[in-house]
Amino acid sequence: MSLKISWLERHWVKIAAIGIIVAVVGSIIGISSYIFIQSSTKLHFQVFHAGSLTIPFGSYATIWMASHPEYLIDNEAYGSATAIRQITENGRLADLLGSADYTLIKTMMMGVDMGNGQKYADWYIITSTNSMALAYVEANNPPHLSELKTGTKKWYHVLNGTDVTFGRADPYQDPCGYRTLMVWGLADDYYINNTSNEINGSMFAKDPLVGYGGPGATVVKGKEVDLISSLQAGEIDYLFIYTSVAVQQSLNYLEFDDHLDLSNATLKEFYANCTVHRESPLIPGAKASDITAAPIEYGITIPNNAPHPVQAIAYVEFILQNPQIWIQNGQDPYSTGASLSKYPTNNVALLPSQLQPYCIDNPSP
């Protein structure tokens, strides 16, 4: 007796497996196509911003998109100067620009022609303030921490040692980078009356910019938030950073005297005694004009070539209406932090009419 088994019977397991694979792949393709179609039908809203604005701008975007599902807000973080150069040098379009230093909007956008007789921006709004701090991770037990905390050693003496490595941002790319240099310079003014440039010189003595490659060499990256992982990993001991970022990242930090931390608007004249160079330790030959120290003031603008100006105005109004986001992320909104009821701008009359009720002319533009 012979038993014949058909081809279908012999291969039914393989056929079933192939069927399952086809079904799964089809489902994946279908889901991917759906996601693509959904995302391609949304309004792509491009934002370039300072690295220190990553978390607050992320919060604003999340809240806005929850009630405006037609938006897809794309936040890209850079050093503020590099963020602006995305627009002015790289030819990229953005609906909103957020800078850790509003004066960069003045000099790099309001002062630069797009080539058609129009500037890249006509206005800025100062949104919030901040301060400089020295961050560390206590669990890493960085050198001389106990002496710093008790005040038996000054921070500039500790950082000068070759057994200590600290990080700073590039002053060409990032305001936190040149504000770090301002802290050094102002420390000379405040602690030793600027008689010998001792503190500033000691900070630079371990810097790769001057060719130093020995123990404790300073670590420099494009923006201060790029150094957070290095601090957490113990690759550096201390980091010059904004207080808000230290708070957001749950980092320990030492506060500077307000003569150094650039937080006190009443010390504006003292801060102005310090002017620093903006030469990049990372990009050969890259440098910008010298800049004078001033209180830390963040700013936003809508570029004149923004793809979605109407929607950008609505989004900026939402930001101005919700200063609690700044507070939740360790920053003072300028309207309350500076005891003002409205946000300063270069000229209220130049603002879109929808934003004018929230602003006043900047008393010290």
160 is written with which tokens?
Answer: 């000068």
299 is written with which tokens?
Answer: 């700013």
Question: What is the C-alpha radius of gyration for the chain, rounded to an integer number of angstroms?
Answer: 26
Report phi then psi at 351, rounded to 5: -75, 155
Question: Which segments within 163-245 are labelled E, that is strand?
Answer: 166-169, 219-221, 238-242
Q: What is the pLDDT of residue 27?
A: 52
Give me the residue label for tokens 């081809």.
7
| Angle (CA) 120 122 125, round 5° | 115
| Angle (CA) 48 100 233, round 5° | 85
Indicate the DSSP class of residue 161: S
Q: What is the pLDDT of residue 301?
A: 98
Q: What is the pLDDT of residue 40?
A: 60
Report phi then psi at 340, rounded to 5: -115, 155
Spatial distance between the Cα atoms of 77 and 308, rounded to a whole number of angstroms: 20
Average pLDDT estimate for 143-170: 95
9 is written with which tokens?
Answer: 């019977």
Average pLDDT estimate for 26-40: 47
Q: What is the pLDDT of residue 37?
A: 42
The residue among 310, 331, 364, 306 whose CA lies nearest residue 46 is: 306
In the structure, what pLDDT confidence band is assigned to residue 31 with cuts at 50, 70 and 90? very low
Give me the residue label for tokens 């004149």.
304
Task: With beta carbons less than 8 A apart as the criterion, state whether 308 and 45 touch.
Answer: yes
Spatial distance between the Cα atoms of 72 and 47, rounded to a whole number of angstroms: 11
Spatial distance between the Cα atoms of 221 and 93, rounded to a whole number of angstroms: 25
Task: With beta carbons less than 8 A apart as the criterion, state whether 64 and 73 touch.
Answer: yes
148 is written with which tokens?
Answer: 């710093």
pLDDT tens by residue, 86-129: 999 999 999 999 999 999 999 999 999 999 999 999 999 999 99
Task: With beta carbons less than 8 A apart as the criterion, state whether 242 and 176 touch.
Answer: yes
Q: What is the pLDDT of residue 19?
A: 52
Residue 114 Cα distances to 86, 135, 249, 305, angstroms: 13, 40, 38, 9
- Of 22-26, 254-258, 338-342, 359-363, which gets the smallest average pLDDT? 22-26
pTM: 0.86
